[in-house]
């Protein structure tokens, strides 16, 4: 049995874990990065990057089919080579993963340990069956995993998660997507554009992360034109029949429907990877789900020398948030290792994007969290917005929210063209605490899609006046 002593032990070498390691080292602490699985981060291996590769292929197919309106004609049918699509997805995915692995390989050998870690007590870890680690502070950065309800687990390999999609050698003919969140909508639309017959089954009317009723209704209508979309479906049965799955569900209208698919892609959310950590062998306070109770500002579990960062805490499962939390947790773990107090994390402006077409974005406060009467709403439709119409991408509706008392911009929800880029402008404006008047003094070039944002801001200014 080997024994290692370190200032900071980081469990998990994903986006949060790597950031925590670098921050702890930068703070002058000794640090040990522990990983039991494959290196490469969720983003590079099964998340952000492979999904965007699939979406890029889907966009190419969509544009090839829709040139007629511009007078650009493709003679004959557009042919999708599923093998070639998936070969590029996997080839480029492996390239991105390789960059991350190279970075880990470059770290000093004495700072890395392979094996699954579990707590013996607050400061002692057992890694595999071969090494004990004593740390003055521990960062839990174990990430998260897709949820697979028992109903679908019984389907065996006919029920897949997003991780499995990127291992396909070819595209299937029929896929049911269970879950209308960001992952379900992105992959559902991409597969539909690549010629797969797709049905997306949501629950409780969810359409991505949207909470504004008008924006959500617009998005529902838009996606219903792209694939079979049942945002309020109640799945009653899922039965495997050979290499097919037969689903029975009740639609929003109360109609009982049945259909057969090659796969069921389950996108029903994610859960933190904390089950194998042995947290009940520590003195940490745990909630009903076995999650350490921690301070969202410092990421510290009570007064214990344990920090929880990234997807493992289940709060904001986004790469940039995981990296920020990892840096804060690593720096705070180094402070606690020196018997100093942890410091609060300075969070950036909330920002969420779904890479659908049209895109979905949310910045700042959600509509659902705003107190009635405390804010005004500015609106713009992109259907007649100049540049959007020029490109025939004129589908979308945006709401911007401004604080009634101060005129300060506080949030926005929308679906529309170039949402991913406009979202960054609004996130910067929010973080700088700009008012609507301040934003309208900024330059807007012509003709650009951002002029639609200016229309919404002008509408908000009228409401404030």
For the chain, the farthest-separated pair of C-alpha atoms sits apart, in whole angstroms, at 73
Q: What is the arithmetic mean of pLDDT over 361-389? A: 97
How many whole angstroms separate alpha carbon 388 and alpha carbon 391? 5
Residues 281 and 333 in one domain: yes
Residue 319 has pLDDT above 90, yes or no: no
Q: Which residues of 14-39 are buried (b: 16+ CB within 10 A; e: fewer)?
A: bbbbbbbbbbbbebebbbbbbbbeeb
Residues 11 and 139 in one domain: yes
Q: Identify the CA nearest to 235 among candidates 145, 154, 165.
A: 154
Determine the structural domain holding residue 426 and report its residue range. 351-464
Residues 54 and 186 in one domain: no
Residue 340 has pLDDT above 90, yes or no: yes
Residues 209 and 138 in one domain: no
Q: In 161-316, at which residue ranges do the beta strands (DSSP E only) sit?
A: 174-178, 197-201, 228-230, 234-241, 244-250, 256-261, 263-266, 270-272, 306-308
- Residue 277, in any domain of the structure: yes
CATH number, position 432: 3.30.390.30
- DSSP designation for 408: B
- pLDDT band of residue 266 (cuts 50, 70, 90) is very high
- pLDDT band of residue 318 (cuts 50, 70, 90) is confident
Residues 284 and 259 in one domain: no
- pLDDT band of residue 44 (cuts 50, 70, 90) is confident
- pLDDT band of residue 46 (cuts 50, 70, 90) is confident
Beta bridge partners of residue 275, listed in sequence order: none
> Half-sphere exposure of 44 toward its Cβ, with a 13 Å CA cutoff?
19
How many beta carbons lie within 10 A of that of residue 280, not counting itself? 9
Residues 75 and 157 in one domain: no
Element (H, E) at 326: helix 319-337
Residue 196 has pLDDT above 80, yes or no: yes
User: For the ranges 184-193, 269-278, 393-402, which has the lowest average pLDDT?
Assistant: 269-278
Residue 40 has pLDDT above 80, yes or no: no
pLDDT value of residue 141: 96
Q: What is the arithmetic mean of pLDDT over 252-268? A: 95
Question: CB under 8 Å to 255, separation ≥6 — which residues?
Answer: none
Residues 263 and 277 in one domain: no
- Residue 327, in any domain of the structure: yes
CB 46 within 8 A of CB 163: yes
- Residue 346, in any domain of the structure: no
In a 10 Å sphere around its CB, with 0-12 CB exposed, 13-18 middle and 19+ buried, how is residue 198 labelled?
Answer: buried
Give the total number of structural domains in the chain.
3
Element (H, E) at 399: strand 397-403
- pLDDT band of residue 112 (cuts 50, 70, 90) is very high
pLDDT value of residue 1: 85
CA distance readout (Å), 360 to 66, 106, 236, 286, 397:
22, 38, 30, 35, 10
- pLDDT band of residue 61 (cuts 50, 70, 90) is very high
Residue 136 has pLDDT above 90, yes or no: yes
> Considering the chain, what is the average pLDDT of its residues?
95
- Residue 342, in any domain of the structure: no
Beta bridge partners of residue 377, listed in sequence order: 401
- Residue 414, in any domain of the structure: yes
Residues 248 and 319 in one domain: no
CATH number, position 99: 3.50.50.60
Residue 316 has pLDDT above 80, yes or no: no
Residues 64 and 135 in one domain: yes
Helix (H, G, I), strand (E, B) or coil at 92: helix
CB 235 within 8 A of CB 180: no
- Residue 24, in any domain of the structure: yes
* Domain termination residue (choose one: 232, 249, 269): 269
Q: Identify the CA nearest to 358 among candidates 223, 231, 230.
A: 223
Residue 127 has pLDDT above 90, yes or no: yes
CB 83 within 8 A of CB 169: yes
Element (H, E) at 97: helix 82-105
- DSSP designation for 167: T
Q: What is the arithmetic mean of pLDDT over 200-221? A: 96
How many whole angstroms separate alpha carbon 64 and alpha carbon 73? 9
* Domain termination residue (choose one: 242, 269, 296): 269
Q: What is the arithmetic mean of pLDDT over 244-254? A: 95
User: For the ranges 146-155, 175-184, 306-315, 395-404, which has the lowest average pLDDT?
Assistant: 306-315
Residues 128 and 169 in one domain: no
Query: Dihedral angle at the C-alpha atoms of 286, 292, 295, 298, nearest 10 degrees?
Result: 150
pLDDT value of residue 415: 98
Residue 37 has pLDDT above 90, yes or no: no
Q: Which residues of 226-240 are buried (b: 16+ CB within 10 A; e: fewer)?
A: bbbbbbbbebeebee
CB 418 within 8 A of CB 395: no
- pLDDT band of residue 92 (cuts 50, 70, 90) is very high
* Overall pTM surpassing 0.85 (yes/no): yes
pLDDT value of residue 5: 98
* Domain termination residue (choose one: 269, 294, 323): 269
Residue 14 has pLDDT above 80, yes or no: yes
Residue 382 has pLDDT above 90, yes or no: yes
Residues 61 and 139 in one domain: yes
- Residue 343, in any domain of the structure: no
- Residue 345, in any domain of the structure: no
- DSSP designation for 110: G
> What number of helices (H) and strands (E) belong to the chain?
13, 22
Q: What is the arithmetic mean of pLDDT over 202-208? A: 94
Residues 296 and 227 in one domain: no
> What is the arrangement of strands in the sheet containing 359-364, beginning at the earlier edge strand?
351-354, 359-364, 409-416, 397-403, 375-381
Q: 143-191: per-residue pLDDT in tens?
A: 999 999 999 999 999 999 999 999 999 999 999 999 999 999 999 999 9
């Amino acid at each position: 049995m080997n024994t290692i002593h370190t200032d900071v032990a980081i469990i998990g070498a994903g986006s949060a874990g790597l950031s925590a390691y670098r921050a702890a080292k930068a703070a002058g602490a000794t640090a040990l990065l522990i990983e039991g699985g494959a290196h490469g981060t969720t983003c590079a291996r099964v998340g952000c990057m492979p999904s965007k590769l699939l979406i890029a292929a889907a966009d190419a197919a969509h544009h090839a089919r829709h040139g007629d309106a511009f007078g650009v004609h493709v003679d004959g049918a557009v042919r999708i080579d599923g093998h070639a699509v998936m070969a590029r997805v996997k080839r480029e995915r492996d390239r991105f993963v390789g960059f991350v692995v190279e970075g880990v390989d470059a770290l000093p050998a004495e700072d890395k340990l392979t094996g699954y870690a579990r707590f013996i007590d607050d400061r002692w870890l057992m890694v595999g069956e071969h090494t004990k680690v004593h740390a003055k502070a521990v960062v839990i950065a174990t990430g998260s995993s897709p949820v697979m309800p028992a109903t679908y687990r019984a389907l065996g390999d006919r029920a897949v998660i997003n991780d499995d999609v990127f291992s396909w050698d070819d595209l299937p003919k029929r896929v049911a997507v269970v879950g209308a969140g960001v992952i379900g909508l992105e992959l559902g639309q991409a597969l539909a554009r690549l010629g797969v017959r797709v049905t997306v089954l949501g629950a409780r009317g969810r359409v991505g992360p949207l909470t504004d009723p008008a924006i959500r209704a617009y998005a529902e209508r838009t996606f219903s034109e792209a694939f079979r979309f049942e945002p309020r479906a109640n799945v009653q049965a899922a039965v495997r029949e050979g290499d097919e799955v037969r689903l029975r569900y009740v639609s929003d209208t109360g109609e009982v429907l049945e259909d057969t698919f090659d796969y069921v892609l389950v996108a029903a959310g994610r859960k933190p990877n904390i089950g194998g950590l042995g947290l009940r062998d520590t003195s940490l306070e745990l909630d009903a789900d076995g999650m350490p109770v921690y301070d969202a500002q410092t990421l510290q579990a009570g007064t214990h020398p344990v920090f929880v960062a990234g997807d493992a805490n289940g709060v904001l499962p986004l790469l940039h948030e995981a990296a920020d939390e990892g840096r804060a947790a690593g720096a705070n773990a180094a402070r606690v290792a020196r018997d100093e107090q942890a410091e609060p994390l300075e969070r950036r402006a909330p920002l969420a994007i779904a890479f659908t077409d049209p895109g979905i974005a949310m910045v700042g406060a959600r509509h659902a969290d705003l107190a009635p009467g405390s804010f005004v709403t500015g609106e713009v439709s992109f259907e007649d917005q100049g540049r959007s119409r020029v490109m025939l991408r004129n589908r979308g509706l945006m709401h911007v929210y401004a604080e009634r008392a101060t005129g300060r911009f506080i949030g926005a929800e929308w679906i529309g063209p170039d949402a991913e880029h406009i979202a960054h402008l609004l996130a910067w404006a929010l973080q700088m605490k700009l008012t609507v008047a301040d934003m309208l003094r900024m330059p807007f070039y012509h003709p650009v899609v951002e002029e639609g944002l200016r229309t919404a801001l002008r509408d908000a200014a009228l409401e404030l006046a």
